[in-house]
Amino acid sequence: MTSTREQRVDIAIIGGGLVGASLGCALARRIEQMGLSMAVIEAAPLDRQLAEPWQPSFDARASAIACGSARHFETLGVWHAMAEMAAPIRTIHVSERGRLGATRMRAAELGVEALGYVIPNAWMGRVLHGRLGELPLAWHCPATVEEIEPLAEGHRLRLSDGGELQAGLTVLADGGRSGLKERLGIESRERPYDQVALIASVEVSRPHGGVAYERFTPEGPIALLPLQGQAMELVWTHERGQEERRLALSDGDFLAELQRAFGDRAGHFRRVGRRNAYPLSLITARETVRPGLAVLGNAAHSLHPVAGQGFNLALRGVMDLVAAIEAGSERDEWLGSPAVLQDFEARRDSDRHDVIRFSDGLIRLFGLDNPLLSHARAAGLMGLNLVGPLRRTLARRAMGLER
């Protein structure tokens, strides 16, 4: 029975982060032209952040966005705004400390303008929320879901702001941190990597020229991604236990340690912003669909950031869910019907499996400190440099141009 306070919506998105907000934008046409009703429930207060003028921050976290994702943003009508703060990746340089092997993937060689783009996460959020703000949707923020109850067709949600929703399709895009997945009895596989990613912006002494570096060291991979200007985003992965010490170092000592670990191929590190450490695990939900429910983004899969694939994979999930909804509506299916969600699952399965295997495989291959393996890895990297077609295939996959 529907209570008087209960609002019926076709779709409720739990979590207005990068993935939930992208899904909202991807459904804009259905909302504006076909009357689809949508509610977004977001725990963090976002309104104030949107009201303030944009201040580029040296400390902002940024993500590598594949060309395929840029195309999806174009389809969503937000790429033009995203591109204002995007730094193109013209070359990817992969190397291993102490080995000769190095491989370069160049945009020009592949006939594309860029291999990908690096965009501050806060800017992406701002652009997506700006678009969401133009849509007639029920925006519950700040609010969380207190109770979730499966119904014959959909779910009933009771919110912390007093709201009650009955949704045909509920999308869990809460980053996996709300406990809702567990309350619904959806189990996850979790394998800690015993590694931590230390993230910071660094300034380099010479123009980066759009080069993204991935350097494998015995301690773990170091990625440097080009940002606008002379700054680069550092993702320094190392064994758990080192982070406290590295976070506590003075800026000068930290920069010197980074220089020793990375070498000088990017120039001299001159300045570092706020440092944050993220413990790393591979987490995958055992179920990503149920009647009336889909799990997206980090709630479905949280990957090692070495290959910069997490959000790119999630955005393809967003596009596939919308495609399954569109196909279902042509067959007069309700949004959360098993047929729609099985169609979505069928579209996702191999991509999700391949990307998880690819990034997990990189960690296993480069994370082991076995001298024989090191030679094999170096040979592999050099081989990669020689074998053009294979390298091109890898590059096209990393760019999101091929599955």
Ligand X SMILES: Cc1cc2nc3c(=O)[nH]c(=O)nc-3n(C[C@H](O)[C@H](O)[C@H](O)COP(=O)(O)OP(=O)(O)OC[C@H]3O[C@@H](n4cnc5c(N)ncnc54)[C@H](O)[C@@H]3O)c2cc1C
Comparison of 166 and 309: residue with beta carbon closer to ligand X = 309
- Closest distance of CB 148 from ligand X, Å: 10
Q: Which is nearer to ligand X, 278 or 358 (CB)?
A: 278
Task: Using alpha carbons, select from 220, 269, 263 the residue that is nearest to residue 241.
Answer: 220
Let me know: does 79 contact 85? Beta carbons within 8 Å. no
Q: Quote the least distance from Cβ 295 to ligand X, whole Å.
A: 10
Integer Cα distance of 180 and 390 in angstroms: 42
* Amino acid letter for position 199: I
Cα angle value 167/172/176 (rounded, 5°):
155
Closest CA to 124 of 87, 74, 86, 90: 86
For strands 231-239 and 293-295, give the pairing.
unpaired
- 65: three-class secondary structure by DSSP: strand
Q: Give the tokens for residue 131.
A: 């678009």
Beta carbon nearer to ligand X, 119 or 325: 119
Four-point Cα dihedral 108, 110, 111, 114, nearest 10: -60
- Of the pair 144, 242, the CB lying nearest ligand X is at 144
Closest contact distance (angstroms) between CB of 188 and ligand X is 14
**Cα 35 from Cα 27, distance rounded (Å):** 11
Instruction: Please report where in the chains the tokens 């994702």 appear, as a residue.
Output: 69
Q: Which CB sits closer to ligand X, 168 or 176?
A: 176
Which residue lies nearer to ligand X by CB, 229 or 279? Answer: 279
Provide the angle, in degrees to the nearest 10, between the axes of the packed helices 18-26 and 121-132: 40
Burial of 251: CB neighbours in 10 Å, binned 0-12, 13-18, 19+: middle
Query: Is the Cβ of residue 18 or residue 378 nearer to ligand X in the bound state?
Result: 18
Minimum distance, C-beta of residue 26 to ligand X, in the bound complex (Å): 13
Compute the least distance from the CB of residue 370 to ligand X, in Å: 26
- Map residue 244 onto helix, strand or coil: helix
Query: Interface residues with ligand X (CB under 6 A)?
Result: 14-20, 41-44, 63-64, 144-145, 173-175, 177-178, 197, 199, 235, 278, 297-298, 305, 308-312, 314
Q: Compute the least distance from the CB of residue 296 to ligand X, in Å.
A: 7
Minimum distance from residue 108 beta carbon to ligand X (Å) = 22
Which of 14, 324, 287, 341 lies closest to 153 in space, CA to CA?
A: 341
The DSSP bridge partners found for residue 157 are 148, 165
- For ligand X, give the closer residue by CB, 160 or 205: 160
What's the length of the chain? 403
Q: Which is nearer to ligand X, 304 or 347 (CB)?
A: 304
**Beta carbons of 115 and 92 less than 8 angstroms apart:** yes
Question: At 25, which helix (H) or strand (E)?
Answer: helix 18-26
